[in-house]
């Protein structure tokens, strides 16, 4: 295999090309990214970068010379328009690049509000990439009124920054509670109270009917008939995998680009990793949206592109920073039927069980609970709920 092309220069793409070199690939590597910036980390966008505490250069995953030193042809600001899996080429504007192996790490795109309800008005932003944050940062002025549509982690992280900078913040969540899709009611209650203590107004079980104003947003009309004045709006209603190129090339899609356990797509010599890829998991399929998955899966795929035949077995973990609270999540909570609460001094953790089996943990300002739970999950072990709930039990003893 001489020529490898990777489409998508985010965390997964950058991890994949670096691993190809460290694993000994001597042929050419081309990494293509639609954004003008080199590969960068996204989590600080909604936190330190939005607050102005981190310059753009510190977001970059590698210094510029890394790519040239490792003979990686980094193409930024260029969009691939087509893949031909028969000819084994990708089209980049007027240029056609041949490949022996192709990896798709195209990531995901934010869901947007329909133009029919004001989604195209000025002052309406998503919070996904560097350009999004650069565009909205001038609006973050003390006293400015921001409406955040969506009470998931991205929306709440944006709300936390806005509140800390002195803005008037309202969060709209059409579901009965914030974080309803991803966390237990106990975690929702924790973060609702945290945000309200910082002056954020949270409207749950309340949908957006439409945004008002022209050409710039001035207010949000809600499904209960009320209106909220807004100087700008942040839309945080989830993301969808970027699969247009794969679909155009005839690849099988299944909540993302369908791959086998090694990262192979349905087309010969085409692989996928990161937010855009779904893979076999415990009898079903899974697509993970996290930095950890983007790195681990991309590195596994890189090894497999070079012949390793190593099945991807994720150990999921996530995090979110809001105000002075660090949330760390280990595992996946799908299917839980019991929540066990462990209260600490200035910390709390919620342990998800299905029967006697530990599935996941949400740890707020409790790194020890997170690390112990992560190690237990990796080992396939489940401590008793009684021991977990007892603050007199040293968590480390659960590992013995």
pLDDT digits (tens, 9 = 90+) for 156-168: 999 999 999 999 9
E strands, 8-51, are 28-32
Question: Does an H or E element contain 330, and which?
Answer: strand 325-331
The predicted pLDDT at position 354 comes to 98
User: Where does the chain have alpha helices with state H?
Assistant: 11-22, 64-69, 130-136, 153-164, 185-197, 244-248, 291-305, 367-379, 385-389
Residue of 29, 51, 52, 212 whose CA lies nearest to 105: 29
User: Where does 32-72 have alpha helices with state H?
Assistant: 64-69
Look up residue 72 and give its two tokens: 């990686």
- The CATH code of the domain at 3-109+239-305 is 3.50.50.60
Write out pLDDT tens, residues 173-189: 999 999 999 999 999 99
Is residue 327 over pLDDT 90? Answer: yes
State phi, psi for 90 to the nearest 5 degrees: -125, 145
pLDDT band at residue 22, thresholds of 50, 70 and 90?
Answer: very high
The predicted model scores a pTM of 0.94
Average pLDDT over the chain, rounded to whole?
A: 96
d(CA 326, CA 320): 6
Mean pLDDT of 232-236: 97
Domain covering 324-399, topology: Enolase-like; domain 1 (3.30.390)
The predicted pLDDT at position 400 comes to 84
The predicted pLDDT at position 130 comes to 95
> Is residue 374 within 8 Å of residue 359, measured between CB atoms?
no
State the greatest distance between any 2 C-alpha atoms of the chain, in Å, as a whole number. Answer: 67
Write out pLDDT tens, residues 130-160: 999 999 999 999 999 999 999 999 999 999 9
Q: Where are the domains of the chain?
A: 3-109+239-305, 112-235, 324-399
Nearest-5° Cα angle at 14, 64 to 49: 70
Mean pLDDT of 343-354: 96
Q: How large is the angle between the packed helices 185-197 and 153-164, nearest 10 degrees?
A: 20
Is residue 269 over pLDDT 90? Answer: yes
Mean pLDDT of 364-386: 97
- Torsion angle of C-alpha atoms 57, 111, 151, 282, degrees rounded to 10: -90
Is residue 41 over pLDDT 70? Answer: yes
- Torsion angle of C-alpha atoms 306, 242, 135, 62, degrees rounded to 10: 0
Taking the mean position of all CA atoms in its chain, how far away is CA 170?
A: 23
> Are 112-235 and 324-399 in the same CATH fold?
no
Q: Does domain 112-235 have CATH number 3.50.50.60?
A: yes
pLDDT band at residue 1, thresholds of 50, 70 and 90?
Answer: low
């Amino acid at each position: 295999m001489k020529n490898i092309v990777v489409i998508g220069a985010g965390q997964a793409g950058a991890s994949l090309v670096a691993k190809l070199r460290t694993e000994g690939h001597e042929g050419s590597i081309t990494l293509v990214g639609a954004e003008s910036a080199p590969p960068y980390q996204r989590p600080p966008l909604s936190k330190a970068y939005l607050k102005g505490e981190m310059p753009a250069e510190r977001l970059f995953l590698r210094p510029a010379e890394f790519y040239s030193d490792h003979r990686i042809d980094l193409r930024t600001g260029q969009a691939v328009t087509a893949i031909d899996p028969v000819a084994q080429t990708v089209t980049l504007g007027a240029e056609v690049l041949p490949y022996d192996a192709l990896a798709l790490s195209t990531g995901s795109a934010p869901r947007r509000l329909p133009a029919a309800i004001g989604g195209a008005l000025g002052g309406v932003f998503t919070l996904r990439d560097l350009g999004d944050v650069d565009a909205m940062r001038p609006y973050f002025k003390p006293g400015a009124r921001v409406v955040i549509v969506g009470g998931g982690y991205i929306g709440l992280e944006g709300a936390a920054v806005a509140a800390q900078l002195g803005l008037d913040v309202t969060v709209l969540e059409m579901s009965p509670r914030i974080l309803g899709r991803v966390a237990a009611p106990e975690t929702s209650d924790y973060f609702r109270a945290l945000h309200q203590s910082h002056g954020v107004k949270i409207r749950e079980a309340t949908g957006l009917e439409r945004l008002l104003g022209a050409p710039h947003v001035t207010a949000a009309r809600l499904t209960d008939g009320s209106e909220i004045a807004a100087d700008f709006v942040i839309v945080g209603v989830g993301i969808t995998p970027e699969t247009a190129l794969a679909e155009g090339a005839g690849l099988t899609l299944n909540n993302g680009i369908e791959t086998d356990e090694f990262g192979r797509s349905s087309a010969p010599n085409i692989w996928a990793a990161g937010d855009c890829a779904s893979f076999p998991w415990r009898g079903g399929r899974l697509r993970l949206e996290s930095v950890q998955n983007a790195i681990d899966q991309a590195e596994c795929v890189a090894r497999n592109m070079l012949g390793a035949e190593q099945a991807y077995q994720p150990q999921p973990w996530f995090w979110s920073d809001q105000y002075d609270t660090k949330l760390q999540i280990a595992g996946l909570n799908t299917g839980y039927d019991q929540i066990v609460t462990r209260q600490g001094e200035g910390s709390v953790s919620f342990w998800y069980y299905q029967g006697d089996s530990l599935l996941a943990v949400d740890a707020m300002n409790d790194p020890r609970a997170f690390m112990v739970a992560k190690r237990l999950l990796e080992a396939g072990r489940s401590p008793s709920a009684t021991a977990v709930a007892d603050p007199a039990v040293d968590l480390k003893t659960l590992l013995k």
